[in-house]
Amino acid sequence: MKKGTCQLCGDTRDLIKAHIIPRTIFSKTRGLGAPPQFLTSWEGNQGNKSEGFIDKSILCGDCDNSFSDAENYLGEYLHRNHTAASQAHNGVTAFIDEAYDYGKLKLAVLVTLWRAEISSNEAFCDVYMEKEEKEKLRKMLVKGEVGSAGCFPVVISRWKSEEKFEPVCRQTVMEPRVINNSYCETSFLGWKILICIKENAGDNVLFENAISKDKLIAIDQAFETSDFFKRLVELSLNSN
């Protein structure tokens, strides 16, 4: 192990191999047999691609371990079969969950954003935040806090797709990237995740259904007609 400055707590410690995308996302997809594939447009060293890349220069073991519980929850939650739970929400089909753990789910998503931002790994070069926002996020993560729904809002949507695309949806992790300097998008295992990288989303309609302490509302998105899907296909073709 190499000694260095932990980017989270700021202490000089032994730095561990930190997974940027939580390792639990890449544990074998239940029922489908094969582990998920990480899709990226980056053409550099792909050695750790199947695990979503590691970085040996950002985190000490204690800081990294402090997120294990939340990350295990995220992995378990996204792998879970929620199919039967769709309900109507403002006239559209949505998956609504009032009993999920807001603190754990959001913490795992926010720490993933933070690690991707902090990492010098070029696969995450499209993830960036302004200095002040990044420092605010770091302080929250040190305390294990996720704030209210409006604080770095997170939206989780679900892909609704034809059966033939189901494996593409369920077995793919897509590189996170920042759009319009305002939010980060990524896709894990058939769930699209948006994270506002500004402290307050203001009137950004994208974050109307941000997850909150009360509930998670995941609108079912038409998968095959989206730009997101085109990008997924593009990345998928490039990776073969």
Q: Which of 58, 63, 146, 168 binds Zn ion (CB under 5 A)?
A: 63
Q: Which is nearer to Zn ion, 6 or 211 (CB)?
A: 6
In the complex, least distance from residue 186 CB atom to Zn ion, rounded to whole angstroms:
24
Counting beta carbons within 10 angstroms of the beta carbon of residue 87, is it exposed (0 to 12), middle (13 to 18) or buried (19 or more)? exposed
Q: Which is nearer to Zn ion, 65 or 87 (CB)?
A: 65
In the complex, least distance from residue 4 CB atom to Zn ion, rounded to whole angstroms:
10
Q: Whole-angstrom Cα distance, residue 159 to residue 28?
A: 20
58 binds Zn ion (CB under 5 A): no
Only one of the segments 55-63, 75-83, 155-163, 223-231 lies at the binding site for Zn ion (rule: CB under 5 A); that segment is: 55-63
Binding-residue pattern over the window 1 to 40 for Zn ion, x denoting contact by CB under 5 A:
-----x-xx-------------------------------
Size of the site for Zn ion (CB under 5 A): 5
Q: Which is nearer to Zn ion, 63 or 184 (CB)?
A: 63
Q: Which is nearer to Zn ion, 9 or 206 (CB)?
A: 9
94 binds Zn ion (CB under 5 A): no
Q: Whole-angstrom Cα distance, residue 65 to residue 219?
A: 32
- 193 closest CA partner among 78, 96, 86, 93: 78
Q: Which is nearer to Zn ion, 65 or 181 (CB)?
A: 65
60 binds Zn ion (CB under 5 A): yes
Q: Which residues make up the interface to Zn ion (CB under 5 A)? A: 6, 8-9, 60, 63
